[in-house]
Amino acid sequence: MIIQNTKLTCFIEQSRIQQRTTEIAHELSKKFVDQTPIFIGILNGSFIFLSDLIREMTVPSEVDFIKVSSYAGEQSTGTIRLIKDISADITHRHVIIVEDIIDTGLTIKFIKDRMLEAGPASVTIVTLLLKPDMVKIPFPVDYVGFEIPPEFVVGYGLDYDQQFRYLPAIYRIEGNVNE
Ligand code: IMP
């Protein structure tokens, strides 16, 4: 399909995302039975995945957000900048960090290190997408929705220069129709 002069092809259908999100929510619910974990969503990209995930949980939870920036267009700038910090006190809390996509891993490493400074009871990492060929982090990612090749994808919260976040599935950018 073509949206705003950009050719997009569907990469992961909405029904597959829903099914995988439910599976992860059930695993997290088992892990945190009798607990009230706090989800920390990384803005902006994780907001749709996070909202679907918490509604499939069978244990109560709390939610907060953190915002960092490292990307301009399709390129990571390599430097992470904190734009909005969490407001909750996470000391002795079970923290679940929710990311839309892990590419190099720089963002998730920055945020995990920052969360650990507050002395949480545990830190669990959930990402909808992971690019295993790109990632360089010294710790495992606990829950991965889908592993994908190192290509730029949009939709279901993920953007290209703030576009396409609203799309209900995940798409690959094939190029600009004017080029
Ligand atoms: P990392 O720090 O290299 O792991 O990059 C993580 C962040 O980069 C994600 O939270 C996204 O905001 C952005 N990002 C990386 N790859 C993509 C992509 O394919 N589409 C959209 N955003 C991406």
Q: Which atom of ligand 1 is the closest one to the Cα of 159?
A: 21
Assess whether the C-beta atom of 44 lies below 6 angstroms from ligand 1.
no
**Predicted confidence (pLDDT) per residue in 72-127, tens digit:** 656 666 789 899 999 999 999 999 999 999 999 999 999 999 999 999 999 999 99
CATH of 19-146 among 3.40.50.2020, 3.90.1170.50, 3.30.565.10, 3.30.1300.10: 3.40.50.2020
| pTM for the structure as a whole | 0.94
> Could you identify the atom of ligand 1 that is nearest to the CA of residue 109?
2
Task: Kindly state the percentage of the chain with pLDDT values over 70.
Answer: 96
pLDDT at 79: 85
Mean pLDDT of 154-173: 97
Q: Is 12 in the pocket of ligand 1 (CB under 6 A)?
A: no
- Listing DSSP states for the chain in one string gives -EETTEEEEEEE-HHHHHHHHHHHHHHHHHHTTT---EEEEEETTTHHHHHHHHHT-SS--EEEEEEEEEEETTEEEEEEEEEE---S--TT-EEEEEEEEESSSHHHHHHHHHHHTT--SEEEEEEEEE-TTT---SS--SEEEEE--S--EEBTTB-BTTBSTT-SSEEEEEEETT-
100 CB near ligand 1 (under 6 Å):
yes
Comparing 36-45, 50-59, 70-79, 130-139, the range with the smallest average pLDDT is: 70-79
pLDDT of residue 86: 98
Domain spans in the chain, listed from the N-terminal domain onward: 19-146
